[in-house]
Amino acid sequence: MGLISSLIPDARSSTTAESASNCARHRKISMAFNETPTQKETPMNKTELAKALSGFVIGGITANVVKQIIRNNTDPEAVADKAAVLIASFVLGAIAADATKAWTDRQIDELIVTWKKLTSKEIHTTV
């Protein structure tokens, strides 16, 4: 009796218990799908959260400023010119946003280092 024939309920069986045992045997053989992710996600710490939020806000503002500068200094008439201005403002805005995000991240790192120095026990003020 092969594996396939053992999985198909037998019409000649007098009870359903025998076909139920066949189903149970099938469930034991097959592997269940595991929906649990293999990589554990770690929550952001305060520094990463501050960098992400400030980068998002400052990047968006910078991209908007670049878009307004390009829009105010160009006067596209054709559809192709309007598309080129739109694409250029998007690309230049993204470049400027990345640069401002990197600068902001450096400032946050410097602020943390300064704060740790000021709050550490190493500093002894003598008058």
- Digit-coded pLDDT (tens) for 8-39: 555 555 555 555 555 555 555 555 666 666 66
Residue 1 lies in a domain: no
From CA 21, how far away is CA 11, in angstroms rounded?
A: 14
Which range marks the domain in which residue 53 is found? 46-119
Please identify which residue in the block is written with the tokens 């053992």.
6
21 part of a folded domain: no
| Structural domain includes residue 89 | yes
Domain-located, residue 16: no
Instruction: Give the predicted TM-score (pTM) of the model.
Output: 0.55
Number of domains in the chain: 1
Residue 93 lies in a domain: yes
Whether 18 maps to a domain, the answer reads no
Q: Is residue 22 part of a domain?
A: no
Separation of alpha carbons 13 and 22, rounded Å: 12
pLDDT digits (tens, 9 = 90+) for 50-78: 888 998 999 889 888 988 898 888 888 89
Cα–Cα nearest to 92, from 58, 59, 54: 59
85: in domain: yes
What's the CA gap between 108 and 103, in Å, rounded? 9
